[in-house]
Structure 1
Amino acid sequence: MLAVAQRHRDRLCPATGRRSGGRVTRLHYPGATATKAVVSRSVRQITHLSSEEIDAIVQQARANGNPLYWIDGDLLRELKPDLIITQELCEVCAIDSGSVFETASKALDYQPEILTIRPNVVSDILQNVRKIGAATGFGQRGTELADSLQSRIKTVVEGVADVENRPRVLCLDWLDPLRNTGQWVPELVEMAGGEERLAVTGGLSRELTWGEIVDYAPEYLMVMPCAFGPERVRAETAEKLTNLKGWNELPAVQMDRVFLFDGRIPTRHGPRVVDVLEGLAKAMHPQRFKGISSYEVLVKDRP
């Protein structure tokens, strides 16, 4: 089996106990899969570029209808996958399903099973864990994992059920230009006992102006720029946010409620989304969730 997006591998290993035959270029978790052959790569290297430069490349590619990723057809032919897992959520974070179908049809002389994942909310993510388990012959294991994740979610939701005055929260998915989060992240905020009024559960992220953010006056600011690791998140926050006019007047800053997340985790629709939920809950309600560890998702609690 072959997973052509990092987020699918996050689900694949715990849901099945198996490792896939190929991997994507930005793989960092689970660590044991890092030695697998790279099947999908970015069209160009962008990790060394600034946030503004990366955004410009993405917007230009979209405008011109150019792909951001490609699949190694020769390697695909060599691996001979019987199952390919792909996605139809974001062509920026991983190769789109259309490209996967096209490459597979050209490179292979047989038709493998192709499982396409389309998550928007948390329940979709849990259902996809079950789907992947079933598709790989590990249905019971997938169900058990989904049930355990649901149990952890229930613990958080019940832990904040009596919170009356829910704080205003802003989660930032990109810092130049400023963008909020979408899909399941606003839902995670609500589950964790907050309100994300600038975003919609199941909706798309959108560009924000700094004026909007100042007017919104978030009481908690969660910085989680997509795909950036801990060091990059720290650097980006210091460079892009802390010198903005009005930064020090934000309630979140004044109350030391700016939290930095490992940006590689929140936007991945796999089991670790529950780690993000627990991290959000502990950030906003530390006294209620003393037993939860959030060190893997939280970079640090202030820039």
Structure 2
Amino acid sequence: MKIFSRIMKISSILLLIALLIPPAVQSATVGITDDLGNEVELDEAPERIISLAPNITEMLFAVGLGDRVVGITTYCDYPEEAMEVDTIGSITEPNIEAIVSKEPDLIVADGINPMEVIERLQELDMNVAGFYPASVQDTFSAMNRLGLVTGNIEETTEVVNEMESRMNAILDLIGDRDERPQVFYEIWNEPLTTAGGDNFIDNMISLAGGENIGAEAGSGWPQFGLEDLIYLDPEVYISTPHSADHQVSKEEILNRDNYQVLTAVQEDRVHIIDQDLVSRPSPRLIDGLKALAGAIYPEIQEELEDI
């Protein structure tokens, strides 16, 4: 009985110690293949993460990894807490020395970062994961893999599932339609530049039920002549406050020379949308999808507000 009593006391002490020790913040990581085709596998969950793009920063903070982010670019402006993190240069010209000095366990890059920068970091034996989402589905995939390689699987899965649920609710409201309104998306006003085909904005417009006439000009970010714009005559015209050196407004677009012949102008279907919601492959893309769907199908606007 004395031996049994001692065993029980020892067990109680061990249990008390276990309760007093805080549980591990991280779970085991899983190796992934990034969008560069590289195998990224960490021995343990990263404690120090550097983001090289605004959408990556938004992903990290959205899935609960913000407290591990030790470096961001000068263009990373969301969420507000991210503004308190040290910057390591711009998107196109990150400071290699500043990055190395942060002693990161993981650097997360995006397609807008120069390849030579990523290669230089890899040469320095830095762990780099590159994600190049060109569509909404690519964004879900990037976030899921980010959750795997950081050991933050559960919270990331919850965020992605919620995003997919909201997206499906928006798509249900749009429904199957025989005709899709012609949409023009203005990236820059002079020279007039748009979102071409096969990119993230093109995918967003398509998901929102529109037909991106910018795809007629090719892929990437092509310039679009006024004659072509008038000829294709979009039913919906979308711009952002930052598509010019000065702030662009709906009134300014409505009063542009020769724009009065456009159907979108005549029917008062010119919309100003926050570009970050539409152009960044991040968790906020669902809000961007809502904004686009409401602009393209104003009759569902009220129902969209509940999503």
How far the C-alpha of 1:77 sits from its partner, in A, is 2.5
Cα 1:146–1:231, aligned 2, differ >3 Å: closer, same or farther? farther
Q: 2:187·2:243 contact (CA, 8 Å) conserved in 1?
A: no
Q: Structure 1 residue aligned with 2:184, among 149, 170, 191? A: 170
How far the C-alpha of 1:219 sits from its partner, in A, is 0.7
AA of the residue aligned to 2:235: E
Instruction: Tell me which residue corresponds to 1:102.
Output: 120
Q: Which runs of 5+ in 1 are unaligned?
A: 43-68, 295-303
Cα 1:234–1:215, aligned 2, differ >3 Å: closer, same or farther? same
Distance 2:245 2:127 in 1: 39
Instruction: Tell me which residue corresponds to 1:205.
Output: 221
Distance 2:235 2:289 in 1: 18
Instruction: Tell me which residue corresponds to 2:166.
Output: 152
Distance 1:263 1:188 in 2: 12
Give 3-state SS (helix, strand or coil) of 1:169's partner. Answer: strand
The C-alpha deviation readout for 1:175-194, integer Å capped at 9, x for no partner, is 22211114122222222222
Give 3-state SS (helix, strand or coil) of 2:186's partner. Answer: strand
Instruction: Tell me which residue corresponds to 1:81.
Output: 104
Q: 1:86·1:117 contact (CA, 8 Å) conserved in 2?
A: yes
Structure 1 residue 7 and structure 2 residue 55: aligned? yes
Distance 1:232 1:245 in 2: 17
Distance 2:247 2:275 in 1: 7
Alignment of 1:1-303 (within 5 A): 1-19=49-67, 20-41=69-90, 69-88=92-111, 90=112, 95-103=113-121, 105=123, 111-182=125-196, 183-199=199-215, 203-224=219-240, 228=242, 232-234=246-248, 241-242=253-254, 244-293=256-305
AA of the residue aligned to 1:102: R
**Higher helix fraction (1 or 2):** 2
Bigger radius of gyration among the two = 2
Cα 1:103–1:238, aligned 2, differ >3 Å: closer, same or farther? farther
Distance 1:292 1:161 in 2: 13
Cα 1:165–1:104, aligned 2, differ >3 Å: closer, same or farther? closer
TM-score by length of 2: 0.75
Distance 1:22 1:145 in 2: 23
Distance 1:243 1:286 in 2: 22
The C-alpha deviation readout for 1:113-172, integer Å capped at 9, x for no partner, is 210012222211110111111121111222221121111111111111143332111111
Cα 1:273–1:230, aligned 2, differ >3 Å: closer, same or farther? farther
Over the matched positions of the two proteins, sequence identity in percent amounts to 22
Q: 1:156·1:191 contact (CA, 8 Å) conserved in 2?
A: no
TM-score by length of 1: 0.75
Q: 1:172·1:181 contact (CA, 8 Å) conserved in 2?
A: yes
AA of the residue aligned to 1:160: I
Give 3-state SS (helix, strand or coil) of 1:155's partner. Answer: helix
Moved more, 212-221 or 18-27: 18-27
Instruction: Tell me which residue corresponds to 1:301.
Output: none
The C-alpha deviation readout for 1:233-256, integer Å capped at 9, x for no partner, is 426x766x5554321121111111
RMSD of the TM alignment (CA)? Answer: 2.6
How far the C-alpha of 1:266 sits from its partner, in A, is 1.8
Moved more, 271-280 or 174-183: 174-183
Q: 1:169·1:220 contact (CA, 8 Å) conserved in 2?
A: yes
Count of residues paired in the alignment: 254
Cα 1:147–1:222, aligned 2, differ >3 Å: closer, same or farther? same
